Amino acid sequence: MKKSFLSLAIIAIGLLIGLNACNKGGDNPWDNEHKDYNMTQVLPDEDMPYFDANEFTIEGGLDVNDIDIYPEFQREDRRRDKKDREKRRRCIKRRHGSGFELRILLRKLHLTKEQRVEFRKIIISYRDCIKDIVKDNSEQRKEIMTRSRSVRRDIIKKFRAGDIDRKEAVKLLRELYVKVKKSMDELIDKEALCNCYKRMLHRLYSILTPQQKRIFLQWLKNSKNPCLKDFTIEG
């Protein structure tokens, strides 16, 4: 019995050591460059859609009840259930847009606690800037979605009635989604969105140390973001 108890105690100690080692790394948001979830402490997932406002993603199919839109600003204040939040998170992970690009920069900068507090204020201001732009045509987006959902219902109705086969139904749905995406994208003032992003970067740059600024400028030089083409920044 004593031997068995001693063995269990050794195993328990080993597990505690292992867990402490994991937690030591997990508490540091800068430990692993390839784990985006660490960066949610600095740039939360709920803010990521604002970096994708320049391009809508439209999805759907014969086996779902509606057209999925990402980002969908007109419903952003609705209380989201767990399933809805998970769906949104999957959309974010698939896109890897400018929000992920910014997370890469933040990971390299190693912001101090004080800088992270200031950066949250900067992100809130950026988010408000985007909101002001997209809210101008929220009613037009709503009209587009109302019409497109009606067309989608007609397509599925014809498929279920046997008037068209699955291949034709899928083709019509894909054409609809492409059309809806184009219409939604055309409503957004992309230059204004880019200006929000560039102002945010200027403010971030202003709170950095000289060493961090050098890292920032190297990141900017390598950026493929269309918003940042020919964009320069000065101290």
Nearest to 70 by CA among 81, 228, 82, 84: 84
Strand, helix or coil at 55?
coil
What is the pLDDT, as a whole number, of residue 29?
37
* pLDDT, tens digit (0-9, with 9 covering 90-100), for 5-18: 444 343 333 433 33
Whether this prediction's pTM lies above 0.85 is answered by no
Q: Give me the amino acid identity at 70.
A: Y
Q: What is the pLDDT of residues 183-201, one digit of tens each?
A: 999 999 999 999 999 999 9
Specify the length of the chain in residues. 235
In 27-65, alpha helices (H): none
Alpha helix segments (H runs only) across the chain: 2-26, 82-95, 98-109, 113-134, 138-161, 166-187, 190-206, 210-222
Which residues, other chains included, contact 181 with Cβ-Cβ below 8 Å and sequence gap of 6+? 56, 57, 58
Provide the β-strand partners of residue 70. 57
Are 58 and 181 a contacting pair, CB within 8 Å?
Answer: yes
Share of the chain above pLDDT 70, in %: 76
- Decide which of 206 and 46 is more confident: 206
Pairwise CA distance, residues 204 & 198, whole Å: 10
Quote the longest CA-to-CA distance of the chain: 77
Higher pLDDT, 205 or 45: 205
Region 136-144: mean pLDDT is: 91
State the Cα–Cα distance between residues 88 and 68, nearest whole angstrom: 10
pLDDT value for 42: 82
Q: Going by C-beta distance under 8 Å and a sequence separation of 6 or more, which residues neighbour residue 80?
A: 88
Find the mean pLDDT for residues 81-89: 68
Average pLDDT over the chain, rounded to whole? 80
How far does CA 22 lie from the centroid of its chain? 27
Q: What is the pLDDT of residues 142-185, one digit of tens each?
A: 999 999 999 999 999 999 999 999 999 999 999 999 999 999 99
